[in-house]
């Protein structure tokens, strides 16, 4: 079963919020750092409670992410497709509206998938995160680790707690370890993301004075208390 099909309603909501957080930074991808911000934004969540108790409310997370953008460890807003095309005099939102009005958003998505499918077969084409639909998904490893956390607890559903555990586990390894495939490395380079160094999630969490291990212990204690 696909990871997303196991997501509970609140976990789905976290991913929607993560997408919005990526939008806020005008990033053309969704990474673990946006998922962390999404987790912090969720209202009435056990996970956001844990994050807040550790000094990681959404404002603090956003401030840290902005700092990483300034430090060049995350791409700046000018790196987004819409800004790059704007620099060439192309209004991407107008193009999107025009083609969606003509062909419908489903056809636009289908065309985008076809282009991506071709890019996998032809190594010379660099097409990732089409300007017209969607963002590149770079949080796959964190989410697959989240599903392993749920598996380890014998739970079918993946909730926000598992997502946080997956994000924390993913952040323990520096960027580029284990070495991602050539396609992911190319997408990261194209998006202006570093290939090495500590994970942004780790930097955000440690900037608030806590550690990945301490947060993990908090989540596990919370899950244990609830069961």
What is the binding site for another protein (CB under 8 A)?
A: 78-79, 81, 84-85, 87-88, 90, 92, 95, 99, 103, 107-108, 110-112, 114-115, 117-118, 121-122, 125-133, 190, 192
Residue 134 C-beta: closest distance to another protein, Å: 11
Neighbours of 133 (CB within 10 A): 16
Residue 125 C-beta: closest distance to another protein, Å: 8
Q: Which is nearer to another protein, 96 or 141 (CB)?
A: 96
Q: Which is nearer to another protein, 132 or 220 (CB)?
A: 132
CA distance 120 to 69: 30
Q: Which is nearer to another protein, 43 or 106 (CB)?
A: 106
Counting Cβ atoms within 10 Å, is residue 2 exposed (0-12), middle (13-18) or buried (19+)?
exposed
Residue 66 C-beta: closest distance to another protein, Å: 16
Neighbours of 8 (CB within 10 A): 18
Which helix (H) or strand (E) is 227 found in, with range? Answer: none
Q: Which is nearer to another protein, 85 or 223 (CB)?
A: 85
Tokens of 36: 């962390």
Residue 5 C-beta: closest distance to another protein, Å: 21
Report the half-sphere exposure of 221 (CA within 13 A, side-chain side).
7
């Amino acid at each position: 079963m696909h990871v997303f099909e196991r997501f509970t309603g609140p976990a789905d909501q976290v991913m929607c919020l993560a997408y919005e957080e990526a939008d806020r930074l005008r990033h053309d991808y969704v990474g673990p750092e946006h998922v962390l911000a999404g987790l912090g934004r969720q209202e009435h969540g056990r996970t956001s409670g844990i994050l807040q108790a550790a000094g990681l409310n959404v404002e603090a997370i956003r401030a840290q992410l902005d700092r990483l953008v300034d430090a060049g460890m995350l791409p700046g807003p000018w790196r987004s497709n819409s800004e790059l095309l704007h620099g060439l005099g192309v209004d991407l939102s107008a193009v999107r509206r025009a083609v969606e009005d003509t062909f419908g958003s489903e056809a636009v998505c289908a065309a985008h998938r076809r282009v991506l499918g071709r890019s996998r077969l032809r190594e010379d084409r660099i097409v990732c995160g089409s300007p017209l639909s969607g963002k590149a998904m770079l949080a796959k490893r964190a989410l697959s680790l989240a599903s392993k956390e749920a598996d380890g607890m014998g739970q079918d559903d993946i909730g926000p707690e598992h997502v946080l555990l997956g994000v924390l586990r993913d952040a323990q390894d520096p960027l580029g370890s284990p070495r991602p495939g050539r396609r992911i490395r190319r997408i990261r380079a194209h998006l202006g993301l570093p290939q090495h160094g500590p994970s942004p999630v780790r930097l955000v969490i440690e900037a608030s004075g806590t550690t990945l291990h301490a947060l993990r212990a908090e989540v596990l204690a919370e899950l244990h208390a609830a069961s």
